[in-house]
Amino acid sequence: MKIINVVCAQGKTGFFFDDQKAIKAGAGHDGAFYIGQPMTEGFTAVRQAGESISVLFILENGAVAHGDCAAVQYSGAAGRDPLFLAKDFIPLIEKEIAPMYIGREITSFRELADLVDKTKSPSTGKIYHTAIRYGVTQACLDAVAKSKCKLMAQVVAEEYGTAVSDTMIPIFTQSGDDRYVNADKMIMKGAQVLPHALFNHVEEKTGLKGEKIEAYIEWLRNRILQFKPYESYQPVIHIDVYGTLGLVFNNDFARIADYIAGLEKIAAPFALRVEGPVDMGEKEAQIEGLRIIREELEKRGSKAEIVADEWCNTLEDIQDFTRRKAGHMIQIKTPDLGGINNSIEAVIFCKENHIGAYLGGTCNETNRSAEVCAHVAMATSPVQYLAKPGMGVDEGYMLIFNEMQRILALKNVL
* Candidate list 333, 351, 388, 411, residue with the active-site label: 333
Short-list 54, 58, 55, 53, CA closest to 146: 58
- Interhelix angle 367-380/130-148, rounded to 10 degrees, is 70
Burial, 61: exposed, middle or buried (Cβ in 10 Å; 0-12, 13-18, 19+)? Answer: exposed
Short-list 360, 391, 317, CA closest to 78: 317
- Interhelix angle 152-160/367-380, rounded to 10 degrees, is 40
Q: What CA–CA distance (Å, rounded) separates 172 from 176?
A: 13
Q: What CA–CA distance (Å, rounded) separates 295 from 205?
A: 27
Short-list 3, 54, 43, CA closest to 20: 43
DSSP state of 60: T
Residue 362: phi and psi, rounded to 5, are -150, 150
Given a contact cutoff of 8 angstroms between Cβ atoms, the answer to whether 281 and 288 are in contact is no
Give how far Cα 190 sits from Cα of 107, 133, 236, Å.
41, 34, 11
- CA 244 to chain centroid, in Å, comes to 20
**H/E element holding 53?**
strand 47-59
Tell me the HSE value of 368 on the side-chain side, using a 13 A CA sphere. 23
Given a contact cutoff of 8 angstroms between Cβ atoms, the answer to whether 64 and 55 are in contact is no
**Long-range contacts (CB closer than 8 Å, 24 or more residues apart) made by 233-236:** 233/187, 233/190, 234/269, 234/270, 235/186, 235/187, 235/191, 235/192, 235/193, 235/194, 235/270, 236/170, 236/192, 236/193, 236/194, 236/270, 236/271, 236/272, 236/273, 236/384
Reply yes or no on whether 333 is catalytic: yes
Short-list 97, 298, 275, 88, CA closest to 194: 275
Short-list 241, 227, 324, CA closest to 275: 241
> Catalytic residue numbers?
333
